Amino acid sequence: MNEFRGIRNPNGRPKGSQNLTTQSIKQNLQMLVENNLDTLDADLKALSPKDRIKAITDLCKFIVPTLKQVDAEVTNTTDVSWLNDWTEEELTKLLNS
């Protein structure tokens, strides 16, 4: 634990607020990318399709939020046992209509 925590603000940074250094780095990185879009586009086009997909996928990690795995329990509340009374031909006809 940081022994200097709380000297300026005993409660630390307010919940949800962003670290100023992180915020500055993100802004500078965004400007760097925006100012070099043509070069980045040319560089991506020079790559093989496989490497281009990998590069774009790797870049997406910085743009698209990472999704967290969620455990879910699915229960079937619809009784479809009545379908057992239908013939294969009737079911096919129903699906194709």
Predicted confidence at residue 4, as pLDDT, reads 53
Among residues 62, 55, 59, 60, the alpha carbon closest in space to that of 25 is found at 62
CA distance linking residue 39 with residue 88, whole number of Å:
59
Predicted confidence at residue 22, as pLDDT, reads 79
pLDDT means over runs of 10, the chain (97 residues): 54 72 84 91 93 90 81 78 85 84
Cβ atoms < 10 Å from Cβ of 3: 6
Predicted confidence at residue 67, as pLDDT, reads 80
Which amino acid, one-letter code, is at 27? Q
